[in-house]
Structure 1
């Protein structure tokens, strides 16, 4: 078994690296959802109106501020940016952005499945 390492996300001491993460974040069998992009905040119940998860973070001036405030990992951040700019980036089409969204969504789903099963 590996020695305990400090998680770069939360600082807790954990026993192994989370599978296939770009930031080499850690998670343990007890804390499988410590990796970035997991349910890091409590779930918010919707009453049909505007809810807190749609509000911009305090001081957010661009997408990177939102990505960081929501603790999005590399894949989720790329999906978010591609959705926002869909078809507007010079030299790319909406189909390019849609393919990018699908590619990163499939990778993120596979990563989460792999991490949850290990």
Structure 2
């Protein structure tokens, strides 16, 4: 996070890698949870900036769905995820009036046709 202070615009960067290839046909989106204590209202058009290493075609849509109630961000895949590649998603949210301490986030893969999620 870029700024933990009350009411501040906070740039969040989530970096992760997968330990197996993830086909877009099997996994249609990821969900990042553990993003609590933000004042940004829920919306389905939160801008997402993506980068990956090594440089690869974009794997994610440029907009995500922010759920302020549960502190989750859901981002749809538009390509496959490659084993050992490092993906980085950056987005902006506004802190609550009480500020925001660092919290541990979790990333879940949401498989096509499956009602449960898998922790990454």
Q: Normalized against structure 2, the TM-score is what?
A: 0.22
Greater Cα radius of gyration, structure 1 or 2:
1
Identify, as 1 or 2, the structure richer in helix.
1
Higher relative contact order at CA 8 Å, sep ≥6: structure 1 or structure 2?
Answer: 2
Identify, as 1 or 2, the structure richer in strand.
2
